[in-house]
């Protein structure tokens, strides 16, 4: 998917949804594990965990790497 064609966030109609990837328990890459809105005020997110879809979970700010 071209980065210019990310879907519009239907929760805020301002940002777009971008995919995030992660690594599984065995270290294998898991592409498109989560989708988040680029609008910081929106905080809409969709996550896939153990085959289940989770909508709108709290977003926890991680430690900033310097």
Give the residue from 46, 41, 57 showing the smallest Cα distance to 17: 46
36-66 pLDDT tens trace: 999 999 989 999 888 889 998 877 766 555 5
Q: What does the buried/exposed string (b/e) look like for 43-59 if buried means 16 or more CB atoms within 10 Å of the residue's CB?
A: ebbbbeeeeeeeeeeee
2-38 pLDDT tens trace: 557 899 999 999 999 999 988 888 888 888 889 999 9
């Amino acid at each position: 998917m071209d980065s210019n064609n990310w879907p519009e966030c239907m929760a805020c109609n301002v940002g777009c949804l971008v995919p995030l990837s992660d690594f599984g328990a065995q270290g294998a890459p898991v592409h498109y594990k989560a989708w988040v809105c680029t609008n910081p005020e929106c905080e809409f997110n969709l996550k896939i965990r153990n085959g289940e879809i989770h909508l709108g979970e709290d977003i926890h700010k991680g430690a900033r790497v310097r």
